[in-house]
């Protein structure tokens, strides 16, 4: 018998064993996770200028940043309006 036929027959036997044994296995349910929502601490706007700009003026770009505390592990999370995320470890 060729190697290809042996592999196909072995796969078929494993599939049939799975069909016969699967109904007899106990149902397992995952534990319910009660995840705590992060707590909002504060938000602020910062100005960001390019290296070619020497002074802050009315045309300088402002970026909003929100600060949260992760209640699961105490980390501080900074999220900017541009999608950047920074996480500081809990002390």
CA distance 87 to 89: 6
Upper half-sphere CA count for residue 42 (Cβ side, 13 Å): 2
Mean pLDDT value across residues 29-42: 85
Q: Where are the domains of the chain?
A: 39-88
Mean pLDDT value across residues 30-34: 78
pLDDT per position as a tens digit, 42-88: 999 999 888 888 898 888 899 999 999 999 888 999 999 989 999 99
**Rg of the chain (C-alpha set):** 28
CA distances from 90 to 66, 82, 86, 87 (A): 18, 24, 13, 9
Q: Which pLDDT band holds residue 40 (cuts at 50, 70, 90)?
A: very high
Predicted pLDDT of residue 27: 79
Predicted pLDDT of residue 57: 86
What count of other Cβ atoms lies within 10 Å of the Cβ of residue 76?
A: 16
């Amino acid at each position: 018998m060729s190697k290809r036929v042996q592999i196909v027959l072995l796969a078929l036997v494993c599939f049939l064993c799975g069909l016969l044994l699967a109904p007899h296995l106990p149902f397992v349910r995952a534990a319910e996770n009660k995840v705590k929502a992060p707590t909002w601490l504060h938000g602020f706007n910062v100005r960001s200028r390019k290296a070619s700009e020497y002074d802050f003026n009315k045309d300088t770009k402002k970026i909003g940043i929100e600060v949260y505390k992760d209640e699961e592990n105490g980390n501080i999370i900074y999220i900017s309006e541009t999608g950047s995320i920074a996480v500081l470890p809990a002390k």
